[in-house]
Amino acid sequence: MTTDIRPKSKVIKSKLGVFGFDANQLKVLEKQLATIPIKLRGNPIYSAQRTALNITKKQAVNNTAKMQRTGELGKAIQVVRGRDKSFDPYTVLRINPDTKYTLPPPAWLDRGKPQLQRPIKYAHLVAGGTEGGLRTNRELKDGTRKHFTVKNQETGNIHRLSQWLNPKKKGIVHPGTPANNFIEDAWDATRARAEQKFRDEIIPKIEQFKSRQGFR
């Protein structure tokens, strides 16, 4: 069972051993698996892992609720089967890289377009937090600079923050955001329950799989 966040090309993983099985329990598990063809043995194991890791997923979603505005980050958390064949079968709790949504422009802006957002692009900023400090204007490819803007609610005028606020430094001071390592914290909080759930589910899952496939 694995937790997996992929900001850009970085992969954060934590791997487990045998989920707290004692020697006798492992013998029973091995005996049950021996009746299933090798290529298919991972199926019931994955099914039990998925059921167990859903406990952690629920906690991870709850962990995001205290800081997100749209709820989309929590919706993007998913449990999937891992792809590393050298460590198969295992499950991954991750941010769905295909999840996306449209964020409308702020109501106080006279101009602006809806923006396409993808939680996978900012999940690492939520998990690791951001450092406070000066945010400077970004230079565009054509040599112009992209300025921070706000609307004066009294006059209706749009102001460039680089000129209106801290004009000498051409930027704004950001307070930063605290880290919310929502997936790893969820795993720390639910690991014991998830492991116990896996131990409770694995034999029934194997028996269900054998019954469906006609194995004895």
pLDDT of residue 97: 93
The alpha-helical segments, DSSP class H, found in 34-80 are 42-65, 72-75
The token duo for 86 is 């050298």
pLDDT at 170: 59
**Distance between CA atoms of 25 and 128, rounded to whole angstroms?**
39
Beta-ladder partners of 94? 78
Would you state the pLDDT for residue 108? 56
pLDDT of residue 136: 67
Residue 44: how many other CB atoms lie within 10 Å: 25
Which pTM value belongs to this model? 0.73
pLDDT at 150: 58
pLDDT by position in tens, the chain (length 216)? 344 433 333 333 333 344 667 778 788 888 888 888 888 888 898 999 999 999 999 999 999 987 767 889 999 999 998 888 777 788 899 999 999 998 887 665 556 678 888 999 989 889 998 888 776 666 556 655 555 565 555 666 665 555 444 455 556 677 788 889 999 999 999 999 999 999 899 999 999 998 888 876
State how far the Cα of 90 lies from the Cα of 170, in Å rounded to an integer: 50
